[in-house]
Structure 1
Amino acid sequence: MSFIGTLALLLVITLVVSQLFGRWGIPDVIGQILVGVICGPALLGWFQQTAMIEQFQEIGVIILMFIAGLESDLSLLKKYLKPALAVALGGMILPIVIMGGASYLFGIDPFEAFFIGVIFSATSVSISVAVLREFKKLDSKEGATILGAAVADDIAGVMMLSIMISMMNSRGEHVPNSGHGSLPLWLTLLLQAGFFVVSYFLIRWLAPKLMKISEQMLPVASSSIMAMIVCLGMATAAEAVSLSGAVGSFFAGIAIANTHKKETINRSFVPIGYAMFIPIFFVNVGLSMRLDHFWDSIVLIVVMTFLAIITKLFGSGAGARMLGFDFNSSYVVGSGMIARGEMALITAQIGYGAHLISETYYSDIITVIVLATLLAPFVLKHALKKITPAA
């Protein structure tokens, strides 16, 4: 089947499944991930991950995070910066210590066990964003804290990954085509600091000027085109300094939200993203799952999945609780940090290429990432119901 045909069929299936899940009160992102699990290599084998699907899902997460930035309240993000950092710190320390320790108890090499802890310190807020949007809580104090913590999480995770790859390189094992380790660590960190300086200038001055320029241009939807240029440009800049493109697009969204064209751009991007690219991103999470050795490693998978949920829930939730959030709000924040998604998958993939994790455990860890990501929206939805008044 051609890629166009595959794309059309995937969209038909996700549309039907999302409709059914919506009627049952289940977040539609769960249905989209399950489409990938059931129709992909894990079960039926109808669809495979291809280069084109990978490209579409990458655009999907970039647009999703751009929309998240666009719908974020900048004053709230500033207001809840301190709890966001506490949430990020708690949500990183607990997985590294507990999941790394559990891996060691399963007989995994100490260095490899520590890297597994690093993998699960990552957070993919993309799935949480979809659920928060559904409950209209993206611009709440909980939503702002989750978004801020996820950005801090991503930066710290990339730094740790860079350090571990540098350590591996010092052992004489060069990392091919990873985009990491080719520059000294101090230079990588300096470039990342430069990226955040550029982001500040974009939010404060450049984005408003660019949107004013777009209004004077003749092409149809010139403002939306300019916003897309900013979105993709910032994603590219983030990737160039070894950050996730999702971080760049998130800051691009915040920058555009700081202009008078915010509502216009939001009305343009939501249909673009949710009509094609964002569903393919969630389907691709399911397509990455493999069950070849599932039963051989069932104890490891079950224990690690449980720990993946608990460590983020309690680690991040405790960070929020210590900074003054009540129990229910802390529960929302903790559950919003559970999903690992593309950030953990990317970290695991880079680590695998860098020989930080062996082939023996790589597929098991991917399965745990997908299972934790699959369960995360259920936990978050349960938490949100506690702070959302019944209609």
Structure 2
Amino acid sequence: MYLMLAAVIIISVSIILLYIGNHFRLPSIVSFLIIGMLLGPFGLGLITDQSAIETFGEVGIILLLFTIGLEFSFEKLLHSWRTVIIGGLLQVTTTIVAITLVTSYFKLPFNEALAFGFIVSLSSTAIVMKILQERREVDTLQGRTLLGILIFQDLAIIPMILITPMLVGSSGPDLNGIPFQIGKVAGLLLIIIILAKWVIPAFLFRVARQRNRELFFISIAGTCIVIAWLTSEAGLSVTLGAFVAGLIIGESDYNIDALSHIIPFRDVFAAIFFLSIGMLLNTSTVLTDLNWIILIVLIIFFVKILTGMFSAAVLGMPARVCIFTGLALCQIGEFSFVLAKTGLDSHLITDGIYQLFLAGAIITMALTPFIMNASPRVVDLYYRIAPRRALYPGQHEPEDVSDSNLSGHMIIAGYGATGKSVARAAEITGIPYMVIELNPEIIRKEKTSRHPHFIFGDAAQREVLEHAGIYNARALVVVVSEEDAIPRIVRLARQLSPHIHIVARIRHIRRTQEILDLGADEVVSEEFEAAREIFTRALRKYHLPEAEIQKIVSRLQKWGYAKFIKNPENGMTKSSMDTMLHSLRIHTIRVEPGSFSDGKTVAGLELKKRFGIADFGFRHGEVTVFDPDDNQKIRAGDALIIFASDEKIEEMSPLFRACMTDD
């Protein structure tokens, strides 16, 4: 009964605060942390038993990492080995050393200072990956860099647990047991490889053949739980096991269906996890020791941002990725609470220091979404201070990255699937091009004697565009995967070269106007293009003649592209574009007997003069015509197919209703 009451309270308060938070554009993670603080034992005290909440929260972390594994792949992970080993090792060790030195300065014993180094070195995989998923940046360069470092942090928990007994003054770790521990890990890896290669694909194939959704869901969830349990038994974290389980299933043919089953549960349980973290905070500690908490938060931010940036820089990442990596890793991780609780139980950490740590840690978690969202402005500030750092070291010399003979060429910013297709098309047609790409692996793979025109750098920086020949280029195609970088690239390119033709790809229609205002000549929206393709395929299901379908699609495409260029010929003001794009849709209006339209010709309706409707279709019985003649008579029972807004249709509808007279 208590659990049901707790669920009712949590859901009710969550709905209210999430609605308010969404209105003020507050990240959902922050909202859940606030809800936890309000409802927990140190807030209003409405939820006092945290054990059940923490259990559900752990399930949320497992499902979150499981879905990330589903969307990733072993191949991508193998490509990221340098990030995992070198980047992760540097980030963890430098953070431990820095925090140990800082805390020792405040007269803490060395063993306690080292324990805090362990605790602070870990970042929150749940928070960082959740934000990257919302930003659709898991598979970007910065997303892969962060994931690699976070994976290493999960692995680093093992030696930290082994070293902990030495810090509390016991006899230390059992050295005789270390080979056994290593053997367990090796055995686990062997079991996982066997499962991934032979057992799980065959098992899922047989389950899928049963065509039973409940059986499939239980099998997917069971696979995740079993592998998470195996990793836990081997001394690794359950979240690492869940991630590995996701990787295994992600390599099968059933990853998409598995993802669709898990996502609803993942979101609910992940929300409970952030609630449980918020409940740990003793609000009275914040009020009584505010100065110390502010100092702790500043130290954590300063150290972790610097060590994160340093690790990414050693990996050869550009400044933009280094800054984003440092800012994203600035918080305390969820497993840091486990280490801190172990220190408290063993009397290594006093209760007062433990509460100060909790307050500082939760504040860093709550501020992480805002800090990650501020990264573009931080990058811009950095490049204004140090503009020459826009290029990768070793590419400052123009002859290394640019060809002085290039003129009238095309610059392609981003070399993903779309950028590669544009480059191949330019190659086929004989158009010279220059590619700007942030991923060093792509540069190393693609830059050859046959394809020499590749620049490693940030297209949002002046020096990079200048080396790419922006002043002599005819066109710039912006197809970078980082959505936040697109406006900066377009604005800078337009400032440097007023004559260049800029084509930018974006995901959502709502950003069209922003990109056009910044200087783009054309904007291609993935959302609009997908809608056009879906609309085309849906029409074919109605057995319309292919020629008629092409006419409709051609007109829709012509109309749509007019809205995605800088100077649309129809004279529509730019401010109304976004509204129109979202409000227009296809309507079918039937002519009623005795209405004004009954018996009129198409020309007699004067739809263009009265309502600005120039194109529409006409249906008589089973016959549909999408370009009716002006002399075509309209009878009761006929229907007009019109592409317009709901408001426009409401204004027109009296013409087709009975008892309407001509004024």
Tell me, yes or no, whether TM beats 0.5. yes
Post-superposition offset of 1:183: 8.5
- Contact 2:50/2:276 (8 A) holds in 1: no
1:238 pairs, out of 225, 231, 234, with: 231
> Are 2:256 and 1:260 equivalent residues in the alignment?
no
Q: Hey, what does 1:92 align to over in structure 2?
A: 92
Instruction: Mark the CA change 1:182 to 1:371 in structure 2 (over 3 Å): closer, same or farther.
Output: farther
Q: In the superposition, relative to structure 1, how do residues 205 and 11 fare at CA in structure 2: closer, same or farther (>3 Å)?
A: farther
- On the 8 A contact 2:112/2:167 being kept in 1, the answer is no
Does residue 334 (structure 1) correspond to residue 326 (structure 2)? The answer is yes
Q: Cα distance, 1:181 vs. partner?
A: 7.1
Aligned partners of 1:355, 1:242: CA distance in 2, in Å? Answer: 23
Is 2:338 the counterpart of 1:356? no
CA contact (8 A) 1:98 1:311 kept: yes
TM-score (norm 1): 0.90
1:182 Cα deviation after fit? 12
Alignment partner of 1:189 is 2:187: no
8 Å CA contact 2:35, 2:278 repeated in 1: yes
Q: Which moved more, 1:296-305 or 1:325-334?
A: 296-305
Distance in 2, Cα, partners of 1:129 & 1:52: 24
What code does the residue aligned with 2:259 have? N
Relative to structure 1, the CA distance from residue 234 to residue 314 in structure 2 (aligned partners, 3 Å threshold; closer, same or farther) is same
* Alpha carbons 1:119, 1:344 under 8 Å: kept: yes
1:101-180 equivalence runs, <5 A? 101-166=101-166, 168=168, 170-171=170-171
Q: Is the 8 A contact 1:331 1:383 kept in 2?
A: yes
Whether the 8 Å CA contact 2:67–2:262 is kept in 1: the answer is yes
Moved over 6 A (4+): 180-183
| Matched position secondary structure for 1:59 | helix
Distance change (3 Å), C-alpha of 1:311 and 1:195: farther
1:33 matched to which residue of 2?
Answer: 33
User: Which residue is equivalent to 1:10?
Assistant: 10
Specify the alignment match of 1:175 in structure 2.
none
Query: Higher Cα Rg: structure 1 or 2?
Result: 2
Q: 1:60 corresponds to which residue?
A: 60
Contact 1:94 1:312 in 2 (8 A): no
Instruction: Report the Cα offset of residue 99 of structure 1.
Output: 1.9
1:320 counterpart = 2:312 = yes
Which structure shows the bigger proportion of residues in strand conformation?
A: 2
**Residue in 2 that maps onto 1:75:** 75
Contact preservation (8 Å) 1:69, 1:254: yes
> Cα deviation per residue 1:54-83 (whole Å; 9 max; x = unaligned)?
211111111111111112244332222212
Number of the residue aligned with 1:42: 42
* Matched residue, 1:198: 191
Structure 1, unmatched stretches of 5+, are 173-179
Give, in angstroms, the shift of residue 304 of structure 1.
1.9
> Bigger relative contact order, structure 1 or 2, given CA contacts below 8 A and separation 6+?
1
Instruction: Provide TM-score, normalisation by structure 2.
Output: 0.54
- For the residue of structure 2 that corresponds to 1:293, the secondary structure is helix
Q: Which amino acid aligns with 2:51?
A: A
Residue 244 of structure 2 corresponds to residue 251 of structure 1: yes
More helix by share: 1
| CA distance in structure 1 between the aligned counterparts of 2:153 and 2:359, rounded to whole angstroms | 22
Answer yes or no: is the 8 Å Cα contact 1:214–1:222 preserved in 2.
yes
After superposition, the Cα gap between the structure-2 partners of 1:267 and 1:43, relative to the gap in structure 1 and judged at 3 Å, is: same
Q: Evaluate the alpha carbon distance shift between residue 339 and residue 205 of structure 1 in structure 2; reply closer, same or farther with a 3 A threshold.
A: farther
Moved more, 144-153 or 90-99: 90-99
- The answer to which of 222-231 and 331-340 deviates more is 331-340
Using the TM superposition, give the Cα deviation of residue 290 of structure 1 relative to its aligned residue in structure 2, in angstroms: 1.4
Structure 1 residues 351 and 194: alpha-carbon distance in aligned structure 2, compared to 1, 3 A threshold:
farther
Q: 1:83 to 1:187 in 2, by over 3 A?
A: same
Counterpart AA for 1:269 = I
With over 3 angstroms needed to count, the CA separation of the structure-2 counterparts of 1:192 and 1:366, relative to structure 1, is: farther
Whole-angstrom distance in 1 between the partners of 2:148 and 2:174: 27
Letter of the 1:381 partner, please give it. N
How many angstroms apart in 1 are the aligned matches of 2:175 and 2:250? 35
Tell me how far apart the structure 2 counterparts of residues 365 and 185 of structure 1 sit (CA, whole Å).
31
Matched AA of 2:76: L
Alignment correspondent of 1:311: 303
Task: Provide closer, same or farther for how the CA distance between residues 37 and 224 of structure 1 changes in structure 2, counting only shifts above 3 A.
Answer: same
Q: Quote the Cα distance in structure 1 between the aligned partners of 2:99 and 2:161.
A: 16
The answer to whether the 8 A contact 2:281-2:358 is kept is yes
In the alignment, the residues of structure 2 paired with residue 225 and residue 75 of structure 1 have an alpha-carbon distance, to the nearest angstrom, of: 27
Mapped to 2, the partners of 1:291 and 1:163 lie a distance apart of 32
Native 8 Å contact 2:61 2:273 kept in 1: yes
CA deviation string 1:86-139 (max 9, x = no partner): 332232123212222222222222211110111111122111111111111112
State the distance in 2 between where 1:167 and 1:374 align: 30
Aligned partners of 1:364 and 1:186: how far apart in 2?
A: 38
Amino acid at match of 2:294: V
Q: CA deviation at 1:234?
A: 1.4
Contact 1:128/1:380 (CA < 8 Å) preserved in 2?
no
Supply the AA of the counterpart residue of 1:375. L
Q: 1:381 and 2:373 equivalent?
A: yes
The answer to whether the 8 A contact 1:93-1:315 is kept is: no
* 8 A contact 1:76–1:141 mirrored in 2: no
**Which SS does the other structure have where 2:285 is aligned?**
coil
Range moving further from structure 2, 76-85 or 367-376:
76-85
The AA in structure 2 aligned to 1:68 is I
Distance 1:16 1:195, change over 3 A: farther
Instruction: Assess, with a 3 A threshold, how the Cα gap between structure 1 residues 225 and 243 changes in structure 2: closer, same or farther.
Output: same
How far is the alpha carbon of 1:327 from its aligned partner?
Answer: 1.3
- Residue 121 of structure 1 aligns with an amino acid whose one-letter code is S
Point out the more displaced range, 346-355 or 145-154.
Answer: 346-355
1:226 matched to 2:222? no
How many residues end up aligned between the 2 structures?
Answer: 383
| Partner residue in 1 for 2:435 | none
Pairwise CA RMSD: 2.4
The answer for the alignment partner of 2:444 in structure 1 is none
Kindly indicate whether the alpha-carbon contact (under 8 Å) linking 2:95 and 2:304 is maintained by their aligned counterparts in 1.
yes
Q: Which residue of 2 aligns with 1:282?
A: 274
Counterpart CA distance in 2 for 1:183 and 1:68 is 37
Alignment partner of 1:210 out of 203, 219, 228: 203
Q: Name which of structure 1's ranges 58-67 and 191-200 shifts more when overlaid on structure 2.
A: 191-200
- AA aligned opposite 1:102: V
Residue of structure 1 equivalent to 2:577: none
Query: 8 Å contact 1:89–1:316 — kept in the other structure?
Result: no
Contact 1:91–1:337 (CA under 8 A) maintained in structure 2: no
Structure 2 unaligned runs (5+)?
Answer: 380-481, 488-510, 512-663
Q: Distance in 2 between matches of 1:257 and 1:355?
A: 43
Q: Pick closer, same or farther for the CA change 1:349–1:53 going to 2, 3 Å.
A: same
Q: What is the rounded CA distance, in whole Å, between the counterparts of 2:22 and 2:74 in structure 1?
A: 30
Equivalent residues of 2:123, 2:333 under 8 A apart: yes
Deviation at 1:189, TM superposition (A): 3.4
1:194 to 1:374, Cα distance in 2 relative to 1, 3 A: farther
Question: Judging changes above 3 Å, is the alpha-carbon distance between structure 1 residues 354 and 108 closer, same or farther for their aligned structure 2 residues?
Answer: same
